[in-house]
Structure 1
């Protein structure tokens, strides 16, 4: 069997099949809405107490960053949009509390799940967790028990919520396999934090196995063997030891420069979404931040963040980096990443719609506030500003003009900032990659956003499961656009980075190094592996193969060539 590997490593052991009690919600009418609201309030109080206990437990057993998820859960129970919507439905529709919770939660879950951003899609799981907790409190249903596990096991479940993973006995769980979820799910993040192998997206596995079955999982490849032979167990035990030895080698990469075998130096940075994420980047010896996704400062709230709130967030990260580079991407919402309080129009094709720089150049009040905050924070570190979703030269010029106006405002107010702050653009639209020789004359750096560049080049909606197999980072056309962008940037003397998922792809790293990429920005957990790959790769040797690779007809041919000739 095969799934999506979400946390690397090999686990061998018995299965513990985890099934949540079924929650059945029946709609009933009420003549006393206040009675239902009182029931809801008691359920909220009970759920809040449970969440506070989970926060304390996770804080002690895992860490502060992982415990923060329960702070978010508690905020959901106080959220005027969600809880206010439940109360409103009880009063207006005269329905029972359970039905009001289910209907309101389903509405918001659907909103999250339809956003083309894996991180935000997975946040729907948080709301599912919170609403399920409320329903259990209302219906007096006890949760399943993962706390009293008494022997080492691999947990198999349809899904695991943050609450499930917080309660489980982590000394006894050596792996996870779930039918749902992906690499950005809380379960996957928790597994990587605890260094427990995990696999997601394994269809119907809960019906194919039973308690006490023996299983092997490979959290990197996504391979699963149920009731393996003695020979298979020996093979995987050897592979497990090899992996543990390799992890020790990766730790030895800390404190070392990212230099290829033949002496070419690059920068390996991390991608972050909130100020808290910087700690993981630094723990993994990141050489900076190549992408600060600022949209997360605008989400899960009912109003725009103030200049002061943004300034503090950017300043915290800049100071923690101690003059290492911090690339802040300006607001990238709209269309597929909805902010309800902005009342953005519904669109037939949001990927190509009113979003990112297009929204900011239209709503200059929002844009100016963010630019003021970023510039003010630039006095406290090595900050660079990056504009997303650029499609034509006028957008760059207009954005730079607004930035200059904001700089002049700050000068008049005697507010300090870095007057020489570098300005860059995301190269994520094929037109910009093709025209990159011209764009390079206008900016200080490029950062290649491969997630959208691949999507737009191949005309594949990466969130559509039916065609996701067509979305491929090894597509020769995508690689040609990347090479062209790097070469055109260098001709104009600017540095070129990459902040899409491809920057951390171990098969692509040697190719990107050979093409001359200057900066690789990725998830914190990939940094040391990327440095190890760079140190064990000869840039010149792979560079001699690039022209051959780019003549290959298919993505599959490219991947096979890398496997056979480079790795």
Structure 2
């Protein structure tokens, strides 16, 4: 394909929030392209089996060192990613198949490992489940680690001694796929962004990128052939946009005076008449929220704690996490969303049945009502954490009054024996039917939060991750603002707080329309807090009457 020489915008999948501007380093995808392949017999079979055994042992030891390092530098939940990889590595049946390939087919260690692990990775990639597909990348990661040991190789950048090489400088890494080893091994201090062709939002690498606060976007086809080392790129991890060869005006619009090679955001003081809160995915994110002077946590996506751990968290584990956030933000409101799984966030360990259209199926409130033990555990953890500070509990994907009543009643029953509770209960307005019933819902709900991403998707019947229809996924449609105005008016009529989260909340271009709709509480990724306050100061936010 012909390289791009003028400003060009691509839209991919936002994996990790933030905006970075910098020059590209291409990841070396070819280090395993010329692996040795030869036949063995007699003593050669034993030598190849011994090579496999040594590689398994060394990779296991390295994964344990990485796990310990990540636990110390980032967090225990992120460290569990490498426990999962060790489990794959130490699977007895997997090792047995590799050795069988050597003994029965007479192939060398590299060939045996590649054929066996490629087969398993391919099988998982064929499953129509995004969570399972993302786990396939872990098998690929184990394969690459084993081949690196066998060939005495390591992940590296493609560029060499060229004058434009960004080695030792801030750089945006472009690769086919974002993997945990790539995320960690290429010096996070100098890596300010990732752009990849493949990689899901639930992948372990995406979780690590978010924990490291490195903006990342995936799903940009043929990106390797469109740019070269040293090309300037903007990575917008909030919107999923990748801008190749941005103009000076584009850079100024996106990052202001922060410079062309940094993604760091600066804190800005609160603005009268506008509350800007932080949206977080992990309890550890509260640190950056405080640093950015967030006026509360407007959305805590608790399902990401489960994704990172790769299992259902216990009541005590959840209580500790929610208490940590409540304590850190004492004096500010904290809105915690109940598990919003299903749809694009399917969790294999919950044994959710396969669905042909999961975004319209067993997800959010429906899944919680269908899994009373899951709801009970989280409800009790939230009730216990609320003994420390007031919590706002948000119910996801509510379709109407009766569903909200049922879920609220189930929550109350699960926590009836816990004293000293300090909670308010409200809902996410993401389904058009709930928006049309907002007046009745606010008779029983104590607050509301508009989830703009899903609401736009369902209002206009558009998959925001489908490049064929992505142009219809926009907050610019007047119908969206009519719906927002209706929900906000219903909230104000009952004296209920109303906020908005999602991409529409973090776009300064929408600030005036949000004010006109009567919405003065925003929840955005911490990096966007200063940007939204700056926009409010520039435009002048009228004090509420």
Contact 1:76 1:127 in 2 (8 A): no
Q: Does residue 1:204 correspond to 2:222, yes or no?
A: yes
Q: Which residue of 1 aligns with 2:108?
A: none
Deviates more, 1:343-352 or 1:379-388: 343-352
Query: Any unmatched runs of 5+ in structure 1?
Result: 227-231, 544-567
CA RMSD of aligned residues (A): 4.6
Q: Does residue 1:11 correspond to 2:13, yes or no?
A: no
Q: Which residue of 1 aligns with 2:486?
A: 484
Q: Which residue of 2 aligns with 1:557?
A: none
Q: Does residue 1:369 correspond to 2:383, yes or no?
A: no
Q: Which residue of 2 aligns with 1:251?
A: 266
Match of residue 151, structure 2, among 123, 135, 140: 140
Q: Which residue of 2 aligns with 1:515?
A: 517
Q: Which residue of 1 aligns with 2:306?
A: 298
Measured in 2, the distance between the counterparts of 1:511 and 1:439 equals 24
Contact 1:486 1:515 in 2 (8 A): yes
SS at match of 1:217: strand
Q: Which residue of 1 aligns with 2:109?
A: none
The Cα shift of 1:446 comes to 0.6
Q: Which residue of 2 aligns with 1:429?
A: 431
The Cα shift of 1:49 comes to 4.1
Contact 1:335 1:353 in 2 (8 A): yes
Measured against aligned partners, the alpha-carbon deviations of 1:394-421 in whole angstroms (never above 9, x if no partner) come to 111112222332342224xxxx322xx1
Of Structure 1 and Structure 2, which has the larger fraction of its residues in helix? 1
Measured against aligned partners, the alpha-carbon deviations of 1:359-418 in whole angstroms (never above 9, x if no partner) come to 22222222112111100000112211111111121111112222332342224xxxx322
Q: Which residue of 1 aligns with 2:421?
A: 417
Measured in 2, the distance between the counterparts of 1:248 and 1:142 equals 31
Contact 1:125 1:161 in 2 (8 A): yes
Contact 1:48 1:74 in 2 (8 A): no
SS at match of 1:243: coil
Measured in 1, the distance between the counterparts of 2:344 and 2:89 equals 20
The Cα shift of 1:157 comes to 4.0
Measured in 1, the distance between the counterparts of 2:199 and 2:190 equals 22
Match of residue 380, structure 1, among 365, 382, 388: 388
Q: Which residue of 2 aligns with 1:334?
A: 342
Contact 2:19 2:255 in 1 (8 A): no
Q: Which residue of 1 aligns with 2:233?
A: 217
The Cα shift of 1:521 comes to 0.9
The Cα shift of 1:237 comes to 9.8
Measured in 1, the distance between the counterparts of 2:345 and 2:213 equals 31
Q: Kindly report which structure 2 residues correspond to 1:55-70, keeping only aligned pairs within 5 A, or say none.
A: 64-65=73-74
Contact 1:10 1:197 in 2 (8 A): no
Which TM-score applies when normalising by structure 1? Answer: 0.75
Q: Which residue of 1 aligns with 2:185?
A: 167
In the superposition, relative to structure 1, how do residues 435 and 80 fare at CA in structure 2: closer, same or farther (>3 Å)? same
SS at match of 1:462: coil
User: How many positions carry a matched residue from both structures?
Assistant: 511
Query: Any unmatched runs of 5+ in structure 2?
Result: 106-111
In the superposition, relative to structure 1, how do residues 128 and 515 fare at CA in structure 2: closer, same or farther (>3 Å)? farther
Match of residue 495, structure 1, among 483, 494, 497: 497
Measured in 1, the distance between the counterparts of 2:39 and 2:465 equals 37
Deviates more, 1:193-202 or 1:310-319: 193-202
Measured in 1, the distance between the counterparts of 2:439 and 2:365 equals 21
In the superposition, relative to structure 1, how do residues 37 and 237 fare at CA in structure 2: closer, same or farther (>3 Å)? same
